Amino acid sequence: MDKKNLVKKALEAKKNAYAPYSGFHVGAALLTDNGKIYTGCNIESASYTPTICAERTAICKAVSEGERKFIAIAITGDSEWTYPCGVCRQTIREFGEDIVVIVAKSEDEYKEYTLKELLPHSFGPENLK
């Protein structure tokens, strides 16, 4: 996995963020098991509830194209370290606990976690069987 390239794609996606209310821009890049990368950015709405985070945008793009197996997701934001919110962690969890989550300030400065570290004792599809 080329982590620097994944972070670079997330940084590029951040430029497309639509954040006129918060002014907080986030980009994400999602790596599938077959090597494809899907990017996403946050998209705000004046009524806030329909706002969607960058991570979920990337996941929705990938899933709508038939992807279901993810290896890693890189996230960049306007703060020093931007971690996925609770809703995004749960959405990522839908596709596995071992997905690598990379939070990055730059292509060269990033931290790496498994989703299981960020969302311990989670609820997933296997709990409904």
pLDDT tens per residue across span 49-85: 899 999 999 999 999 999 999 999 999 999 889 999 9
Residue linked to tokens 């931007």: 82
What's the rounded Cα separation, in Å, for the pair 66 and 98? Answer: 20
CATH architecture for segment(s) 3-128: 3-Layer(aba) Sandwich (3.40)
Q: From the candidates 12, 55, 94, 107, which is the catalytic residue?
A: 55
Give me the DSSP letters along 25-68.
-EEEEEEETTS-EEEEE-B--TTSTT-B-HHHHHHHHHHHTT--
Q: Is 117 considered catalytic here? A: no
Annotated binding site for substrate: 42-48
What count of Cα atoms within 13 Å lies in the side-chain half-sphere of residue 94?
13
Span 91-119, pLDDT tens digits: 999 999 999 999 999 999 999 999 999 99
Q: pLDDT-derived band of residue 48, with 50, 70 and 90 as boundaries?
A: confident
Which residues are annotated as part of the binding site for Zn(2+)? Answer: 53, 85, 88
Binding-site residue positions: 42-48, 53, 85, 88
| Model confidence, pTM | 0.93
